[in-house]
A and B are shown apart, each in its own frame.
Chain A
Amino acid sequence: KAGVTQTPRYLIKTRGQQVTLSCSPISGHRSVSWYQQTPGQGLQFLFEYFSETQRNKGNFPGRFSGRQFSNSRSEMNVSTLELGDSALYLCASGPGKADTQYFGPGTRLTVL
């Protein structure tokens, strides 16, 4: 099976812009989670979607949003970008409600 794919792999944006990141899970996986990784804060959970419903949400401002489509693909949107949003954004997929998560290669977002 193909692994989790994320597009784009690299992004450069300026403050105030918005960005959309995409994640395609492993075929058959219904759960998609998003994480932000920074040197200062480490790995932090953003949100999880299961069968198109947001099931869990981390402690991030409302500028961070997401959605999941009927084919389980997921998108994450960040509006009004801030310098502190520069990070590696990781997507992970899993087969069930509580199970092993398999990670994609990440999207490196740089905000200037």
Chain B
Amino acid sequence: AQTVTQSQPEMSVQEAETVTLSCTYDTSESDYYLFWYKQPPSRQMILVIRQEAYKQQNATENRFSVNFQKAAKSFSLKISDSQLGDAAMYFCAYSSNTGNQFYFGTGTSLTVIP
């Protein structure tokens, strides 16, 4: 089975600074999807960014970007110009290209310091 590992249970960042959240995964598949979701205290899971494994170009969404290293099975999330609203639990997730079964990491709790 696929596994997703987030080794940073907690991270903090100063407002307006940059922070990087780490994620590694294990799979024998060559085609798959990777995601970062954000879960604020409201508990609503919100999609942050999506990466398709066959695409070498790293995905970006405004202040959010990823560093996708397929050979290393690494998928980190960089948040630039951090804002107070970025404070949340961040989950890395893996999905194969054959179905919508997501494997989630244990999450990283991000605190943004004013």
Contact = CB atoms under 8 A, between A and B. Distances in A.
Interface in B94-114: 95-107
B43 to A, nearest CB: 5
In the complex, which range does the number of interface residues on chain A fall in? 20 to 34
A67 to B, nearest CB: 17
A98 B107 contact: no
A63 interface: no
In the complex, which range does the number of interface residues on chain B fall in? 20 to 34
Given A105-B44, A106-B43, A42 B106 contact: yes
Q: For B42, B47, B50, B105, which residue has the most chain A Cβ atoms within 10 angstroms?
A: B47
A43 B93 CA distance: 10
Contact of A100 (B35, B103, B105, B107): B35
Interface of A: 31, 33, 35, 42-43, 45, 48, 50, 55-56, 58, 88, 90, 92, 94, 97-106, 108
Interface of B: 33, 35, 37, 42-47, 50, 91, 95-107
8 contacts: A33-B101, A43-B91, A92-B45, A92-B100, A97-B99, A98-B100, A100-B47, A101-B102
